[in-house]
Amino acid sequence: MKTCWAIAGAVAAVGGTLAGLGLVIARTLTAPAGGRTYDLTVRGVEKSRERTIVVLDRTDHTDASGIYCLILENGGWVRLSEGIVDRGIGLIGRVVEDLSGELRAGDRASWSGIFFSTPAEAGLAAMDVWVPTDVGPAPAWLIYPQAGPSMTWAIHIHGLGSPRTGTLRGVQVAAEAGLTSLVVTYRNDGEGPTVGTGRSALGAAEADDVRAAVRCARENGARNVILFGWSMGAAIALQLAQDPELRAIVKGLVLESPVLDWVSTIKANCARVGLPEWTGAFALPWLNCWPLARMTGLPRRVPLRRFDWIARSDELTTPTLILHGTLDTSSLFEVASELNKRRPDIVELEAFSADHTMSWNSDPVRWRAALKARLLMWEETI
């Protein structure tokens, strides 16, 4: 604590631009759940008997191979097939697979890897349940496979700034593999309980709510669990897999685009928005030291060392499948590759040509096959 106060004094003494920038970065990273950013404009809609094409500005995302979704500001969802057509300089056409709502030129939209807006759209029959946590009840979906309840449950944990619907891409495969799924929410994610200022603790506090979900699963018939974490949800899953209370029942980890080290992730996200990567270092004291974390608006500090799974790789004991895009500019693929190199005995890495949390979208057939094979293998060994 004395060390943190000393750091706080040093930062206050600097009192300059870099210290202020660090605070801005820390507050932006932990900001309360907000609305989606609609940064694309529909440039045109071409309809024929055979197909509908939506014309967009050409970007790395809109030009990416695979199947994606346009979420419209007016509430509509546009699922896009693999079809891509050239529409001249700076423009690209994407073939529409399915459309809910109206689609018009001039509509504002957001590019997303989230492909299903509800469990029903993913072909899943979900029951709304509530997980009791220390900060209040958290809504969740309970989804049984066709054969009925299983003794092994998959706990699906979404990432920072992403809704639980994003995990449905993995829930489909878990159901096909015969697993019961619990799709959870947690504090300050926009659906779970609101605590304090509503800021994210980057998984440090949210893990308590997911731990409560695992306990709930055990109380309702789960003998073993597989934790399926997306982005920050992977950081939560890794914490729980090392928890003495849960270590014996966590039989596998599936990590999509995982945050394996918050320091490298913060620096990568600075570069992602056009800042020098090194500016991310100035955000670290505002998260890691209690006096500064309080000024950031957090109820307690974020112990960043706890989230460095490269440094802690020798502590890992749970079989792990990582699904990760080589084009990820948020959680760098190189970090996952390093973990795989350090622990090839328990960490398997499947690489995709995709950006953050879009591995499924880039190649859903291979993604689903890799995941299903691993789930069935774990089931056989449990």
- Show the beta-strand stretches assigned E in the chain: 40-41, 44-47, 52-57, 68-72, 77-86, 91-100, 108-112, 126-133, 136-143, 152-157, 180-183, 224-230, 250-256, 320-325, 347-352
| Domain range annotation of the chain | 40-112, 125-261+308-381
pTM, two decimals, is 0.94
Quote the radius of gyration of the chain (alpha carbons, Å).
Answer: 21
The residues with which 321 forms a beta bridge, in sequence order, are 254, 348
| Inter-residue contact 374 to 177 (CB < 8 Å) | no
User: Which tens digits make up the pLDDT trace of 15-27?
Assistant: 456 778 999 999 9
The residues with which 92 forms a beta bridge, in sequence order, are 56, 86
User: Which tens digits make up the pLDDT trace of 128-140?
Assistant: 999 999 999 999 9
Give the pLDDT band (50/70/90) at residue 4: low
Residue 101 has what pLDDT?
84
| Inter-residue contact 380 to 177 (CB < 8 Å) | no
Residue 102 has what pLDDT?
87
Residue 380 has what pLDDT?
80
**What is residue 321's three-state secondary structure?**
strand
Residue 316 has what pLDDT?
97
| Inter-residue contact 364 to 115 (CB < 8 Å) | no
Residue 171 has what pLDDT?
98
Question: What is the C-alpha separation between 17 and 65, in angstroms, rounded?
Answer: 41
Give the pLDDT band (50/70/90) at residue 11: very low
Pair type for strands 347-352 and 52-57? unpaired
Question: What is the C-alpha separation between 75 and 52, in angstroms, rounded?
Answer: 19
Identify the DSSP state of 37.
P
User: Which tens digits make up the pLDDT trace of 320-335?
Assistant: 999 999 999 999 999 9
Question: What is the C-alpha separation between 167 and 156, in angstroms, rounded?
Answer: 6
Phi then psi dihedrals of residue 70, to 5 deg: -100, 120
What mean pLDDT is reported for the chain?
Answer: 94
Can you say whether residue 6 is alpha, beta or left, with left for phi > 0 and alpha for psi between -120 and 50 degrees?
alpha
Residue 3 has what pLDDT?
57
Residue 194 has what pLDDT?
97
Tokens of 335: 């970090």
pLDDT at 1 over 80: no
First-residue to last-residue Cα distance in the chain: 44
Calculate what percentage of the chain has a pLDDT beyond 90: 90
Amino acid letter for position 44: G
User: Which tens digits make up the pLDDT trace of 332-352?
Assistant: 999 999 999 999 999 999 999
Amino acid letter for position 242: Q
Between 3.40.50.970, 3.40.50.300, 3.40.50.1820, 3.90.1200.10, what CATH number should domain 125-261+308-381 receive? 3.40.50.1820
